[in-house]
């Protein structure tokens, strides 16, 4: 899957969690811009894991702060 | 200077707002006198205790107290040492023997608290490159164990078999896996489908640890917990438990049939680098555990209490954490923290103590009034408790 394809699938998944309808680009941060609390993060991560059939462990999540980093991580995890 | 405490400002503010409304501080209650497992004088009032996790009411058992006093006389007030140095007394061996007998398992290791038992066992056995697959509603001590260790940590949705299996399937070939579950989840008082979960874990080659803190002594034929009740205890690799609930004192443990289990005593840091339990504590624990092996009458009464309270609260119109009583915990769901604190205080003024639980310890940001029943609550006390809930609930406008 190309980075663009991965990006658009994640973009679709993020929508129901993006309550404020914030604009999403690579620099958008989950805690700051999207105001995800820890429960939202857990649900959102579970949705991505199931969509791509991957594991994003909490250790890996700790390295991901913004949207671009997430897309890169998902690309890498798909191998 | 950058004040390191500024990160707590939001919480300080929330607390001040709550207390400014005039409610008694729910997190600063003092028990001036304790009269029995179910009664105390709190903030100057005679109070029925309904939030202590003292499920079997062992804290004032005459045999338990006598054993503690004798150990205090014979062995002194403390060991002043680690289990692996000067801190293993006869009593520590005896309480471990009592646990092996209680669970019919080969090995038992006693820690200074249940928190440390989880912290130590989980962080030690799951190392770098291993995977911990755990329920998202796990107790703080399990999460802290994950944080302390080097394993990859992967949570799944509470009690969701499919979510758990999907994650197990995705673990890379050859990696070690520890599945961490609880028998009873203490926030809502719900029980895990351990029979199915343990089978799935085993199918994927995982080892299984079950925290049975809230089931010991009254769930399962011998009181060994939910895994026993559902017939899968023999497939559970590690059971974690505590002395701070049914046993009625303080301390924690892990029991296991793993042939190499004893090596834990040398490699588990929260076991090694802390002082062992005082002699009086292990003596009271051993006596209590042995009495719990024969507690079936008390157990039956505890279940009656749980069913009556659950049914009574439901009939009054309270929203509860489970549709039917699954354990000795009945969680009453409050609309928000402010109303929850008001209800908590109204109950306290009625003469009833329950546990106020709030985020982040609770699932889905709920505010809960957690009631835990005791085998020593009389049927009359349970009726009295229902009357208090009715009056307080109407006064605060919850029902
Ligand atoms: C599920 C669970 N595990 C572990 C513990 C810790 O037990 P202890 O009080 O012995 O530290 C508790 C109690 O708070 C608990 O609820």
CA distance A2 to chain B (A): 21
The Cα B124–Cα B111 span in angstroms is 14
Q: Give the pLDDT confidence score for residue B343 in this predicted structure.
A: 96
Chain A residues touching B135 at Cβ < 8 A: none
Q: Is A54 on the interface with B (CB under 8 A)?
A: yes
The pLDDT-based confidence of B102 (bands split at 50, 70, 90) is very high
Quick check: A79 pLDDT over 80?
Answer: no
- Of ligand 1's listed atoms, the one at least distance from the Cα of B118 is 4
Q: Give the pLDDT confidence score for residue B323 in this predicted structure.
A: 97
pLDDT, one tens digit per residue, over B295-346 is: 888 999 999 999 999 999 999 999 999 999 999 999 999 999 999 999 999 9
Closest CB to A58: pick one of B153, B166, B170: B153
| Mean pLDDT (whole number) for B143-158 | 97
Closest CB to A55: pick one of B154, B364, B365: B154
Quick check: B208 pLDDT over 80?
Answer: yes
Protein residue closest via CA to atom 8 of ligand 1: B114
Phi, psi of B322 (to 5 degrees): -135, 150
Query: B347, exposed or middle or buried, with CB in 10 Å at 0-12, 13-18, 19+?
Result: buried
Q: Is A31 on the interface with B (CB under 8 A)?
A: no
User: How many separate domains does chain A show?
Assistant: 1
Quick check: B382 pLDDT over 90?
Answer: yes
pLDDT, one tens digit per residue, over A29-49 is: 999 999 998 889 999 999 999
Chain A residues touching B170 at Cβ < 8 A: 49, 53-55
Domains of chain B: 23-56+296-396 (3.90.1150.10), 60-292 (3.40.640.10)
Nearest alpha carbon to residue B196 among B155, B168, B238, B224: B168
| Mean pLDDT (whole number) for B231-259 | 98
CB B200 within 8 A of CB B164: yes
Chain A residues touching B154 at Cβ < 8 A: 55, 57-58
Nearest alpha carbon to residue B26 among B289, B364, B251, B347: B347
Average pLDDT, chain B: 96
| Mean pLDDT (whole number) for B118-146 | 97
Residues spanned by the domain of A9: 3-78
The pLDDT-based confidence of A77 (bands split at 50, 70, 90) is very high
Find the helix or strand (DSSP H, E) in which B270 lies: helix B269-272
pTM of the predicted model, to two decimals?
0.96
The pLDDT-based confidence of B204 (bands split at 50, 70, 90) is very high
* A58–B155 CB contact, under 8 Å: yes
Copy the structure tokens of residue B1: 């200077």
| Mean pLDDT (whole number) for B60-73 | 98
Q: Is A58 on the interface with B (CB under 8 A)?
A: yes
Chain B residues touching A47 at Cβ < 8 A: none
Question: Which of B119, B141, B254 gets mutated to test ligand 1 (max ligand atoms within 8 A of its CB)?
Answer: B141
Query: B52, exposed or middle or buried, with CB in 10 Å at 0-12, 13-18, 19+?
Result: buried
* B166–A57 CB contact, under 8 Å: no
* B146–A39 CB contact, under 8 Å: no
| Mean pLDDT (whole number) for B351-374 | 93
CB B91 within 8 A of CB B282: yes
Question: Ligand 1 centre and the CA of B244: distance in Å?
Answer: 8
Question: Ligand 1 centre and the CA of B118: distance in Å?
Answer: 9
- Of ligand 1's listed atoms, the one at least distance from the Cα of B139 is 1
For ligand 1, residues with CB inside 6 Å are: B 113-115, 118, 139, 141, 182, 186, 211, 213-214, 242, 244, 252
| Mean pLDDT (whole number) for A64-76 | 96
Q: Give the pLDDT confidence score for residue B69 in this predicted structure.
A: 98
Quick check: B22 pLDDT over 90?
Answer: no
Task: Compute how many other C-beta atoms are within 10 angstroms of the C-beta atom of residue B80.
Answer: 12
* A57–B153 CB contact, under 8 Å: yes
* CATH number, domain with residue A64: 1.10.1200.10
- Of ligand 1's listed atoms, the one at least distance from the Cα of B242 is 10
How many Cα neighbours within 13 Å face the side chain of B224?
A: 25
CB B280 within 8 A of CB B71: yes
């Amino acid at each position: 899957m190309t980075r663009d394809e991965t990006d658009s699938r994640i973009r679709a998944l993020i929508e129901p969690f993006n309550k404020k309808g914030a604009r999403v680009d690579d620099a958008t941060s989950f805690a700051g811009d999207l105001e995800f609390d820890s429960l939202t993060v857990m649900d959102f991560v579970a949705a991505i894991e199931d969509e791509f059939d991957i594991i994003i462990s909490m250790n890996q999540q700790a390295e991901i702060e913004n949207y671009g980093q997430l897309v890169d991580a998902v690309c890498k995890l798909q191998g | 200077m950058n004040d390191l405490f500024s990160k707590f400002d939001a919480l300080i503010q929330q607390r001040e707002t709550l207390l400014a409304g005039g409610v008694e501080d729910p997190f600063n209650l003092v028990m001036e006198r304790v009269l029995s497992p179910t009664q105390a004088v709190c903030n100057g009032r005679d109070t029925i205790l309904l939030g202590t996790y003292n499920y079997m009411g062992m804290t004032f058992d005459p045999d338990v107290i006598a054993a503690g006093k004798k150990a205090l006389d014979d062995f002194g007030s403390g060991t002043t040492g680690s289990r692996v140095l000067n801190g293993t007394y006869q009593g520590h061996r005896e309480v471990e023997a009592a646990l092996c007998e209680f669970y019919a398992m080969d090995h038992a290791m006693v820690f200074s608290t249940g928190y440390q038992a989880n912290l130590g066992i989980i962080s030690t056995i799951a190392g770098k490159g291993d995977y911990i697959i755990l329920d998202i509603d796990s107790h703080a001590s399990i999460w802290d164990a994950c944080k302390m260790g080097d394993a990859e940590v992967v949570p799944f949705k509470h009690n969701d078999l499919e979510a758990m299996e999907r994650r197990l399937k995705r673990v890379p070939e050859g990696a070690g896996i520890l599945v961490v579950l609880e028998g009873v989840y203490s926030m809502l008082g719900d029980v895990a489908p351990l029979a199915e979960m343990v089978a799935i874990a085993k199918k994927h080659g995982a080892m299984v640890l079950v925290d049975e803190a809230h089931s010991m002594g009254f769930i399962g034929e011998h009181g060994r917990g939910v895994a026993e009740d559902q017939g899968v205890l023999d497939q559970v690799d590690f059971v974690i438990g505590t002395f701070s609930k049914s046993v009625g004192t303080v301390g924690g443990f892990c029991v296991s049939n793993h042939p190499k289990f004893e090596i834990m005593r040398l490699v588990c840091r929260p076991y090694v680098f802390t002082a062992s339990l005082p002699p009086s504590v292990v003596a009271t624990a051993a006596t209590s555990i042995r009495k719990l092996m024969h507690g079936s009458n008390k157990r039956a009464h505890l279940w009656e209490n749980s069913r009556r309270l659950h049914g009574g609260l439901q009939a009054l119109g309270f929203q509860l954490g489970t549709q039917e009583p699954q354990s000795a915990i009945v969680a009453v769901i409050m609309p928000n923290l402010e109303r929850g604190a008001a209800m908590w205080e109204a109950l306290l003024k009625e003469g009833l103590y329950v546990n106020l639980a709030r985020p982040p310890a609770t699932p889905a940001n709920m505010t809960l009034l957690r009631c835990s029943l005791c085998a020593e609550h009389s049927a009359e006390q349970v009726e009295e408790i229902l009357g208090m809930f009715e009056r307080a609930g109407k006064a605060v406008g919850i029902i």
